Structure 1
Amino acid sequence: MPTLVEIVPYDPNWPRHFSDAEAVLRKLLRSTVMVIDHVGSTAIPHMPAKPIIDIDITLSSLCAVPSASLCLVDAGYEARGNRYDDNVWAFLLKSSVPKLRVYLCPPQNRTHEQRLIFRDYLREHGDVAQAYSDLKERLAERFPYDGDRYTSEKREFVQEIVSRVQGQPR
């Protein structure tokens, strides 16, 4: 059964939910963890979002993914696969409120790096964050039970920002 694409107002507790989840995930995955990042719209202050905390975990190597995956599944996460063939494995913890979506990433993963670029840009550019928020609201209304289409329709906006940032001298 399709799930409703629900956008809710920003919750000031989302950063705390991330911090709590980060502590649990560090204990669970131990030495395989290099960095844990809060990504997605819940990581952007004042941004309406789906009530799901998105978390990227950069592991020590690609070889660490299978054992980390088993740890997550044993902890109750549902494996969602490597959906975009980018060496990023997705997991969902439905029993948590809000839900947690965890992505296991090898070092120097392009998808992970682009998520950080986009997150940081929106944190620094309120006008662009507002445009993205407006787009998400329109798409949620247009595709209320098609999460894949909702996500794919945002891709051009996201890619334009990432390309803009990567084209700038550092």
Structure 2
Amino acid sequence: MPGWTPLGDVDWTWQAEDRDGGLVGEYADESGAWALSGAAWLPPADGEPDDVQLVPPDPTWPDQAATLIAELGAIVPAGLVRRWEHYGSTAVPDLPAKPVLDLLAEVEDEAAARQALVPALCGRAVEYWRQDGAATYVGRWRWGGRRRYHLHVAAVGDPIWAGLTFRDRLRADAALRREYAALKADLAATLGADRERYTLAKGEFVARYSA
């Protein structure tokens, strides 16, 4: 899996090999902010599109999530993850969704867990992303291929856990599910080519029912 290494002298916090034998590590950049070497999303020229494609509900998604949790649980260091949750639209019955499983893993401290999780998970078409302070491991079916799962890692108290409230409300309220399904279908039709804009456009609705 392609990655990158900073040029010149940097202050390394830690370094380790990823699952492909490549070097990953955390270091301070010129501004003093941390950055990660390796584990980068550098799509190959023959990479598949990363647009939004909604599919009908699949009743096997919960079983797929359970299998994936077992698979990941066998890879990460024992005792590191305190709790696993399947959430997002694939965790809600009768709701169309992108065919990408969303998992949420509870750790004591995300910054400390990163030193173990990045080398254990990254490589083999798994990438580390960080956005708005949240850590996400993006698993693909193959390097440059479609997304298979998103593993979100956070300590208790992180705002991302509000996603469980939203999941449970959707599970319990058929009218809310229909409203959300209609919103997603409309946004996928208009913003489907831009995954980030699609996600942001759902934000107000999601936040309203996550409190």
TM band (smaller chain): 0.7 to 0.9
Provide the rounded CA distance (Å) in 1 between the counterparts of 2:202 and 2:56: 19
Q: How does 1:67-106 map to 2 (within 5 A)?
A: 67-74=116-123, 76-80=125-129, 82-85=130-133, 88-95=134-141, 99-106=148-155
- Structure showing greater relative contact order (alpha-carbon pairs closer than 8 Å, 6 or more residues apart): 1
Provide the rounded CA distance (Å) in 1 between the counterparts of 2:95 and 2:176: 11
2:168 pairs with 1:120: yes
Q: Which runs of 5+ in 1 are unaligned?
A: 164-170
Q: Which runs of 5+ in 2 are unaligned?
A: 1-46
Give the match for residue 18 of structure 2: none
Structure 1's consecutive aligned runs of 4 or more residues displaced over 3 angstroms after TM superposition are none
Give the match for residue 81 of structure 2: 33
Match of 1:15 among 62, 74, 92: 62
Provide the rounded CA distance (Å) in 1 between the counterparts of 2:81 and 2:124: 16
Provide the rounded CA distance (Å) in 1 between the counterparts of 2:156 and 2:118: 16
Could you state the TM-score of these two structures normalised by the residue count of structure 1? 0.87
Could you state the TM-score of these two structures normalised by the residue count of structure 2? 0.70
Return the letter of the residue paired with 1:50.
K
The structure that is helix-richer by fraction is 1
CA deviation vs aligned residue, 1:88-144 (integer Å, no higher than 9, x gap): 211111117871111111232221x21101001111111111100100000000112
Q: Is 2:54–2:188's contact at 8 Å kept on the other side of the alignment?
A: yes
Greater CA drift, 61-70 or 137-146: 61-70
Provide the rounded CA distance (Å) in 2 between the counterparts of 1:76 and 1:142: 29
Q: Is 2:82–2:107's contact at 8 Å kept on the other side of the alignment?
A: yes
Match of 1:130 among 178, 193, 197: 178
Provide the rounded CA distance (Å) in 2 between the counterparts of 1:69 and 1:120: 30
Give the match for residue 159 of structure 2: 110
The structure that is strand-richer by fraction is 2
Q: Which has the larger radius of gyration?
A: 2
Q: Is 1:18–1:53's contact at 8 Å kept on the other side of the alignment?
A: yes
Identical aligned residues as a percent: 28
Give, in angstroms, the shift of residue 67 of structure 1. 1.2
